[in-house]
Amino acid sequence: MEIKRQANRSSEFRTKSILAIGSIAFFILIYFILFSFTIGLTALCIYGAILLIDTFPRFISIALGIGLASFGLLIFYFLIKFVFSFRKIDRSNFYEIQHANQPEIFSLIQEIVTEVKTSFPKRVYLSTDVNAAVFYDSNFWSMFFPVKKNLLIGMGLLNSVSQDELKAVLAHEFGHFSQKSLKLSSYVYNVNQVIFNLVSEDESFDKIIQKWAEASGYLNFFIVLAVNIIEGIKWILQKLYEIVNKSYLGLSREMEFHADEIAVSIAGYEPFRRSLLRAELSGEALSRVLTFYADKISDNIRSENVYDEHWFVLNLLAKESKLPIVNGFPEVTIEEYKKFKKSKLVIKDQWASHPSISDRLERQKKHSEFVEFKHQPALHLFRNYEEVQKTLTNFLFTDIEYKGEIQYMDSSKFESIFYQEFKNNTFSDIYNEYYDNKNPVYFDLENINTTDGKIEFPELFSEQIVDLVHTEFALKNDLEIIKKIAYKTISLKTFDYDGKKYESKEGYKLITKLNLELEQVNSKIKENDIKIFTFFEQTEALLSKPKKLKEYYQTLFEYDQQIDSKLDIITKIYNHLEFTNYTTPFDKIITNFRRFRPLESQLKQEIESIVKDNLYTNEISKDMKDNFHLFLSSDLEYFRDTAYNNENLEVLFLAIENYRHLLLRGYFLLKKKLLSYQKEIIEPAMRADAF
């Protein structure tokens, strides 16, 4: 039996709505004052222009009169230009579906909109992403006349949810536009866009000013004066924008909770929970597939159906993370999600429009009543879905320019190559993800102080030890944010930390406390790293083969000490070349590039040493090799006469980024080599079940 529950708006929702209405009313009042002033100013300027021309009918009087009139008209046009603004969503990579060819998904949509009590979307589109959204083209008049919404469903989403989970996602999206939900938010959104247009969208307005100023030198004085007044109006509007935007985003957070409640009331808590927690994993899987093919562009290789491969990678990531498969889909638990969320810092961010996943689940957890679920894949709602997936795959590769004949990689070959590359870029599961987000901590290999007693292998990589790594990461992030609050880089009056409220000025004391905590955590991690080395060194001593462990550690530590200074060269180069982003006198450009030559020479020496180093042999692709050859083989000229040589600058910047990539990759390879050797040491003992 299916149980439905009416979604209700909370008191917080009503409070945020009142604040949003108040901010809009305040904006309308200020805008009305500015508009009235501008109308009066414009009328006065036009009257003055007519009077001037009529009194002194000469060329200079006519020119000055036109300038005076344009002064008022430009300010007036600035304040009404938003009326002519129109926002149209780019649909070039959307695939529209119709009821005639996809009746099952349309039936589900109809079921949802009926229960949500909203209107059926004007059009239904599929996109390439892991998402869903309700959208519409908007302009100023959208506030006064109803606009039909369109539904967008990502194939990446459809590929990774069941039918009941899809229902929860779509119910959430339509919940935003239900009668009880987003009438006010729609209005606030459009008002916000009006202010944004006035404050930020100036390209067409700037062109008008430029053309008008070029018409006659007599107009320049009035144009400059108008621009200065407009800048003052912009400053006022910017402050209004902050007020309205904060109230809108505060309301948006409550709108998310309300839409969640609608989704849970219609589809149930479990489908809502599962789809929400799996979304990040699904997005990561699709991103990895696209990155894989990005690296194959130079080989003219692409996919015929990305979503077959997306499904494979999704399940591979789940397997590697030891996630259970429930009803055919990877199950991401809240415990798994929170494993990396160790922060104790709580900030009610007025600029954040979406609450955290934890907050959203916690808010809806009390509504976990029973509902009848449909665990079949959402894809089964589509007819000929493989053809649809191939069409969307084509969208992903449309803008890529291949230099030769395109080759399509079949799924089995993709799985084989991807799996091998995945294993080459990950560490053994015997480490329990201990090294995934940390590197071995430096210590003196010749003077090791360890605690007495036998070291047990499972203790070195236990959940408690891995939790220390996550805690260290969270402490570092919390410290950075609290420093910004204390130094007023982030404007905030109060914040919560570990259940206690602090004023911003108290941040300094908390920083001292957290630094001490971080030192203690780091000390425990270092102590564990020393134990790891000791354990593997003792185990290695039992093997009848050459001892390499200390050498691997020493090499890694030395590389770690050198890499910062090598990366510092890149920072110096970018700082030195910053002038290329700005308008700079020609003689200054020439001087700057002349002074750049010693840094360029230093970079070339570093790249030459990398090219010769066997560590990077398999990491330097053909494209990298060709670019390095262009950069190293001649003295590139970056500026001649009055123009930059963009082709040579592209060679330079690509060489810099390739150099950076290889430096970081080199550290990973040495780390991988060390960890693989440690696994090799322990494997005989593990086979004998000694651990």
Domain ranges of the chain: 427-542, 545-691
Which residues, including other chains, have CB under 8 Å from residue 495's CB and lie 6 or more apart? 345, 346, 347, 482, 485, 501, 502, 504, 507
Alpha-carbon distance 404 to 224, whole Å?
Answer: 54
Cα–Cα distances in Å, from 33 out to 39, 159, 205, 229? 10, 53, 22, 15
Torsion of CA 508, 509, 512, 515, to 10 degrees: -80
Q: What pLDDT is stored for residue 629 in this prediction?
A: 95
pLDDT in tens, 416-428: 999 999 999 999 9
Alpha-carbon distance 547 to 677, whole Å?
Answer: 11
Which residues of the chain, if any, have pLDDT below 70? 1-12, 82-88, 137-146, 178-190, 192, 197, 199-206, 210-218, 340-342, 346-354, 367-373, 449-453, 686-691
pLDDT in tens, 328-377: 999 998 888 777 666 777 665 444 456 788 888 888 877 655 556 678 99
Alpha-helical (H) ranges within 117-219 are 155-158, 163-175, 183-199, 203-215
Q: What pLDDT is stored for residue 165 in this prediction?
A: 96
Q: Is residue 688 exposed (0-12), middle (13-18) or buried (19+ Cβ within 10 Å)?
A: exposed
DSSP for 473-508, please give it: HHHHHHHHHHHHHHTTSS--SEEEETTEEEEGGGHH
The candidate with the shortest Cα–Cα distance to 373, out of 463, 455, 476, 266, is 266
Tokens coding 437: 């987000």
Label the pairing between strands 325-326 and 138-139: unpaired
Alpha-carbon distance 296 to 400, whole Å?
Answer: 11
Q: What pLDDT is stored for residue 687 in this prediction?
A: 65
Q: What pLDDT is stored for residue 224 in this prediction?
A: 80
Q: Is 327 left (phi over 0), alpha (psi -120 to 50) or beta?
A: left
Alpha-carbon distance 287 to 300, whole Å?
Answer: 19
Q: Is 563 left (phi over 0), alpha (psi -120 to 50) or beta?
A: alpha
Residue where the block lists tokens 């599929």 = 126
Q: Which residues of 91-119 are buried (b: 16+ CB within 10 A; e: fewer)?
A: eebbbebeeeebeebbebbeebbebbebe
Q: What pLDDT is stored for residue 186 in this prediction?
A: 62
Q: DSSP code of 544?
A: S
Q: Is 455 left (phi over 0), alpha (psi -120 to 50) or beta?
A: beta
Beta carbons of 641 and 635 less than 8 angstroms apart: no
What is the model's pTM? 0.79
Rounded (10°) angle between helices 163-175 and 269-294: 100
Describe the strand order of the beta sheet including 124-127 as a list of residue ranges.
95-97, 124-127, 150-154, 132-135
Beta carbons of 91 and 153 less than 8 angstroms apart: no
Beta carbons of 124 and 109 less than 8 angstroms apart: yes
Residues in a beta bridge with 301: 407
Q: What pLDDT is stored for residue 416 in this prediction?
A: 96
Label the pairing between strands 494-497 and 345-346: antiparallel
DSSP for 399-452, please give it: T---SS--EEEPHHHHHHHHHHHHHHTS--GGGTTTTTT--PPP--TTS----S
Q: What pLDDT is stored for residue 448 in this prediction?
A: 80
Alpha-carbon distance 252 to 13, whole Å?
Answer: 9
Q: What pLDDT is stored for residue 27 in this prediction?
A: 81
Beta carbons of 223 and 74 less than 8 angstroms apart: yes
> Is the sign of the CA dihedral 283, 286, 292, 296 positive or negative?
negative
Beta carbons of 652 and 583 less than 8 angstroms apart: no
Residue where the block lists tokens 């071995």 = 440
